[in-house]
Amino acid sequence: MAQNLTAEAALAREPAAAARRRLRPPERRQSAGSGRRGGWTPWLYLAPALVVLAGLLIYPIYQLGLISFLEYTQAQVSGGEPTTFKGFGNYAELFGDSQFWQVLVATLAFAGACVLCTLALGCALAVLLTRIRAVPRLALMLAALGAWATPAITGSTVWVFLFDPDFGPVNKILTGAGLSGFADYSWTYGRYSAFALVLLEVVWCSFPFVMVTLYAGIRAIPEEVLEAASLDGASAWRIWRSVMAPMLRPILIVVTIQSIIWDFKVFTQIYVMTNGGGIAGQNLTLNVYAYQKAFASSQYSLGSAIGVVMLLILLIVTLGYLRLLRRQGEEL
């Protein structure tokens, strides 16, 4: 009994943390060690997807960068001449070409216009969905998702038919409305009218993503907040600008960055609707320009260099996107 009292007195003099460690059962210590060993378990589950991504992304990017540093034309493809290393010669030739800078500026302007129009239409329709009844809301959602699900080449072909100078219904409707200047008018002949036509098609197939995403975000806003702003006499525009937009800022950032990435690398719509870049290349974007250099002119090295430049631009945008997501996570 005296030994038990001595042990209890010694235990009482120990710090609380030491006592807890001493009294912790062995099963708990074993579970903590197994938790540390299980830190590799998520990576084991992700390993198959990482292997597939490495094969589909890393190796093609490596080949793209390698070809951009080589002299790689049709002669090298057929084995008629040996492949030579040019270093940054392809990039020097590319940056010294005035057409490249014109195409780059046109691509940035076109992508910026597409993003602005997509966001404006998507935001407006998202707010509209919250103000209409169930049946019209369902019809609008189905129509928008139908546009979103339409393949790019199919949608581009349909839009070309709608604005066809001879058989398109748009010109006939405008002519019937008294606008005689649109009789036999070719929308793809002029540079700006062709870009405007492609912009309409890109916005048509892109706004549903913005609309559905923002609509989900608006539905998550407490109704009491919107009701309080309405009772204070705020207009619909003021409610959107001062209440909804700040609360939807994380979602707006996500859809904006993704729209920039998508619209910057538009290819199918430009190629199909302008027949490969328009008259004398007046409607070229970087994607179509790279295609022409690589496959139409067999200058695979220059085409690869353009691809690397586009990759770097999109990488900068993606890193900015990830940084914003990380900052939002820290704020939350």
Structural domain includes residue 75 = no
Does 111 lie in the same domain as 257?
yes
Does 250 lie in the same domain as 318?
yes
Structural domain includes residue 87 = no
Residue 177 near residue 92 (C-beta atoms within 8 A): no
**pLDDT value at residue 330:** 55
Residue 241 sits in a domain whose CATH number is 1.10.3720.10
Does 40 lie in the same domain as 125?
no
Does 152 lie in the same domain as 261?
yes
Structural domain includes residue 79 = no
Rounded to two decimals, what is the model's pTM? 0.80
Residue 256 near residue 268 (C-beta atoms within 8 A): no
Structural domain includes residue 86 = no
Structural domain includes residue 265 = yes
Does 64 lie in the same domain as 96?
no
**Number of domain units in the chain:** 2
Structural domain includes residue 76 = no
Q: How far apart are CA 67 and CA 48, in angstroms?
A: 28
**pLDDT value at residue 319:** 86
Does 148 lie in the same domain as 45?
no
Structural domain includes residue 83 = no
Phi (first) and psi of residue 80, to 5 degrees: -75, -30
Q: Over its length of 332 residues, how does the chain's per-residue pLDDT go in tens digits?
A: 444 444 444 444 444 444 445 445 544 444 444 445 557 888 888 889 888 888 888 888 999 999 999 988 888 877 777 788 988 999 999 999 999 999 999 999 999 999 999 999 999 999 899 889 999 999 999 999 999 999 999 999 999 999 999 889 999 999 998 888 888 899 999 999 999 999 999 999 999 999 999 999 999 988 888 888 888 888 888 888 888 888 888 888 889 888 998 999 899 999 999 998 999 889 999 999 999 999 888 899 999 999 999 999 988 888 887 787 777 665 55
Find tokens 């998520």 and name the residue. Answer: 42
Q: How far apart are CA 274 and CA 291, in angstroms?
A: 14
Q: How far apart are CA 70 and CA 86, in angstroms?
A: 5
Does 107 lie in the same domain as 27?
no
Q: How far apart are CA 93 and CA 303, in angstroms?
A: 12
Does 181 lie in the same domain as 32?
no
Does 166 lie in the same domain as 44?
no
Does 104 lie in the same domain as 47?
no
Does 135 lie in the same domain as 51?
no
> In terms of Cα–Cα distance, which of 137, 121, 161, 322 is closest to 219?
137
Structural domain includes residue 82 = no
Does 133 lie in the same domain as 46?
no
Q: What range defines the domain where residue 275 resides?
A: 92-331
3-state secondary structure of 299: strand
